[in-house]
Amino acid sequence: MKKNYDFSQGKRGPVIPPDPNKIRITIRLDADILDYFKALVERAGGGNYQSLINQALRDHIEQGPKKLEETLRKVLREELERVS
């Protein structure tokens, strides 16, 4: 290890430039939601919990309202069968 290092040519900021398709925002999430995604990353051995949240939101959007309607219909059918 050197006693002195020359940082005169150093640059501030991230080593890897951010993805231009991503936008930095501030969002408030419930602590248990954040803990859930952080735990997923930890169990996987590393990664980015923010990317997991982004993917969960994308999956939800791609399912669309039709998927929600199908799920509700299924639950209602099951409940009606149970009480019949």
The predicted-structure confidence for 14-65, as pLDDT tens digits, reads as follows: 778 888 999 999 999 999 999 999 999 999 999 999 999 999 999 988 887 7
Flag whether pLDDT at 13 surpasses 90: no
Round to the nearest angstrom and report the end-to-end CA distance of the chain.
78
Instruction: Please check whether residue 81 is in contact with residue 74, taking contact to mean a CB–CB distance below 8 angstroms.
Output: no
Domain around 49: 31-83
In whole angstroms, what is the distance from residue 81 CA to residue 76 CA?
Answer: 9
5 part of a folded domain: no
45 part of a folded domain: yes
Q: How many domains, the chain?
A: 1
73 part of a folded domain: yes
11: confidence class by pLDDT, cuts 50, 70, 90? confident
How much is the pLDDT for 17? 83
How much is the pLDDT for 43? 95
